[in-house]
Structure 1
Amino acid sequence: MSTLSNLTEPNVPQDAWCLFLDIDGTLLEHAAHPDAVVVGDELRTLLAGLELQLDGALAFITGRSIAAVDHLFQPLRLRAAGLYGLEHRLTRDGPVEAAGEPADIAALAEEIEAELGSADVYIERKGPILAIHTRAAPQLLQRATQLVEQALGRLPVGYRVLAGNAGVELMPLEAAKGAAIRRFLDLPAFAARRPVFLGDDTSDENGFEAVNEMDGISIRIKPSGPTAARHVLAGVGEALAWLAAVSQRNLDGSTGLVHPLNGRSR
């Protein structure tokens, strides 16, 4: 695992590459409620431009459902892996492979809502994934974590608990961003390209590990501790500036590796 002291700002590859993007905390600042975030036209334009420049080799890799992603970024309907890879849209504007909510997860969600549901805690039901957001009530994170950990003993085998920066999630073991990235890399649009992945949370670590194994570029946004990522950007603003500089480099047709934050060729 990398520590903060040995993380560096990222370059972009000279050869063919593809781009995978987390959303919350990476492209958008976190909000107390997931529905409170807003996507501006500038970000939509940037993403549409990058997707065109990369010949379609761009995909969201997110814990949100694809329906929620489409609502945020409309009218864009880019390639995406939602629910940590339990949902996929493998082609732009294509059909979505969706995931439903099992009865036992629905029952658990209702139990937790009865105890913690309030204006300050948001229980998000995402098919087979149950997310408890405590950003507005950090004092309840420990109790939320206890509730989902206790539930593991009565759920079918194959679930895990994932703690995040401001909440906790219960999800199937197969929900993993690394697996979602690998699935895209098997597609013609992504094949033979070097993967670049930007993320900000513990749920992104599995994706960083997968990208590192493929000699890709792993970038953690605003890390607070050890990470598998090999590069760092200080926050959402810096991530957007980096992506904008990469896009401009593509438009300019410059050659060689570029350090987008300061514009120097290397």
Structure 2
Amino acid sequence: MPVSPNLPAPALPQGPWALFLDIDGTLLEHAAHPDAVVVGDELRALLASLEARLDGALAFITGRSIAAVDNLFQPLRLRAAGLYGLEHRLARDGPVEAAGEPADIAALAQEIEAELDNADVYIERKGPILAIHTRAAPHLLRRATQLVEQALGRLPAGYRVLAGNAGVELMPLEAAKGAAIRRFMEESAFSGRRPVFLGDDTSDENGFEVVNEMDGVSVRIKPRGPTAARHALAGVEEALVWLDAANHSNAEKSAGLVAT
């Protein structure tokens, strides 16, 4: 399968491993609006099969809320870190540790909505995280970034701005995918396994760094520039093909990873 010219494709599984998955741009193609994506039955079946093969050592690591993830993948309720680790579900079908929306973030969201005033810009309020999606209006990305950067000086300490491929987000400093992965790796279902993380955006870079520290396998989907990931796949289709191959490789053995 085609890959980045600078990074090799990851090897297929063979030894104890755990799987962490970003969603948008990794399992699903991006859409102009986050609610416009659709999950097919084949993807649901693949995830359920992988989770069973890994004895539960599979988790979503996403900027979406866990409620939004559940709505997409229903009836599956897999382990997940939502809002970049501000929400957690540590057990399948288990309770969600949720995060609420602070009043200052709610007020800022209203201000930015009024300032941009464009039907093609989607402002997503995710508890303590404010995301501005400009995929359908790329000419407004710079202005959106300016607005959230200017807001930092008016907010309590502890927030940061994260620019993405087609939008910008304002979030607490503790919102980090790497920290979410570390937390899952302390759980019994994941402990002692080699972490594998697939992601596609700048928000995934912290996760790649943590996985690399753990001697895991970091995979950037469709890399567009420098990345901490040590492997690459050319797009969503290639990622799904790789996951399907991993699911079916050495089916008679315990899951694990070939040394690379």
TM-score (norm 1): 0.93
CA distance in 1, matches of 2:147, 2:72: 30
Is the counterpart of residue 208 in structure 1 residue 208 in structure 2? Answer: yes
Match of residue 171 from structure 1: 171
1:109-153 per-position Cα deviation (integer Å, ceiling 9, x unaligned): 000011124320000000000000000000000000000000000
Stretch deviating more after TM superposition (178-187 or 117-126): 117-126
Match of residue 102 from structure 2: 102
Is the counterpart of residue 157 in structure 1 residue 153 in structure 2? Answer: no
2:63, 2:84 within 8 Å by CA — same for their partners in 1? yes
Query: 1:91 offset after TM fit, Å?
Result: 0.1
Stretch deviating more after TM superposition (248-257 or 86-95): 248-257
CA distance in 2, matches of 1:102, 1:17: 37
3-state SS of 1:187 partner: coil
How many residues align? The count is 257
CA distance in 2, matches of 1:173, 1:189: 27
TM-score (norm 2): 0.95
1:26, 1:198 within 8 Å by CA — same for their partners in 2? yes
Give matches, 1:118-137, under 5 Å.
Answer: 118-137=118-137
CA distance in 2, matches of 1:246, 1:20: 14
Match of residue 142 from structure 1: 142
Match of residue 262 from structure 1: none
* Runs of at least 5 residues in structure 1 that lack an aligned partner in the other structure: 260-265
Match of residue 22 from structure 1: 22
Letter in 2 for 1:120: D
3-state SS of 2:99 partner: coil
CA distance in 2, matches of 1:256, 1:64: 28
Say what the alpha-carbon RMSD is for the aligned residues. 1.7
CA distance in 2, matches of 1:108, 1:79: 31
2:16, 2:257 within 8 Å by CA — same for their partners in 1? no
Query: 1:6 offset after TM fit, Å?
Result: 3.4
3-state SS of 2:197 partner: strand
3-state SS of 2:131 partner: strand
Letter in 1 for 2:220: R
3-state SS of 1:67 partner: helix
Give matches, 1:229-240, under 5 Å.
Answer: 229-240=229-240
Stretch deviating more after TM superposition (241-250 or 188-197): 241-250
CA distance in 2, matches of 1:83, 1:26: 16
3-state SS of 2:181 partner: helix
Match of residue 116 from structure 2: 116
Letter in 1 for 2:88: H
Post-superposition, which runs of at least 4 consecutive aligned residues in structure 1 deviate over 4 A?
252-259
Match of residue 246 from structure 1: 246
CA distance in 2, matches of 1:180, 1:12: 24
Closer, same or farther in 2 for the Cα pair 1:232/1:113, shift >3 Å?
A: same
CA distance in 2, matches of 1:26, 1:81: 16
CA distance in 1, matches of 2:14, 2:57: 15
3-state SS of 2:198 partner: strand
Is the counterpart of residue 180 in structure 1 residue 184 in structure 2? Answer: no
